[in-house]
Amino acid sequence: MATGNALDRLTTGAWVSHDGGCEMRGAAQFLVPFGLTLIAGFGLLGWMSYAPPPSGAPVSVPLAELSLSGPRYVSVSGVAHYGSVVTQRTQGGLLAEPATWSLFGLFPDGDLAGREIKVLVRTMRAPERLVSFEYLTVEGALMPPDPRLVPMAVRDALADGGEWWLADDVLVLDPVRIVSEDGVWVEP
Domain that holds residue 139: 59-186
Residues 27, 74, single domain; the answer is no
> How many domains is the chain partitioned into structurally?
2
Residues 35, 76, single domain; the answer is no
Q: CATH code at 132?
A: 2.40.50.140
Q: Per the domain annotation, does 75 fall within a domain? A: yes
Write down the pTM of the prediction: 0.68
What does the pLDDT look like over 1-25, one tens digit per residue?
445 555 555 555 555 555 555 556 6
Residues 79, 109, single domain; the answer is yes
DSSP states along 133-161:
EEEEEEEEEEE---TTTS-HHHHHHHHHH
Residues 30, 65, single domain; the answer is no
What does the pLDDT look like over 143-172, one tens digit per residue?
888 887 888 888 788 777 667 777 778 888
**Is the Cα torsion angle 174, 105, 144, 58 positive or negative in sign?**
negative
Residues 9, 36, single domain; the answer is yes
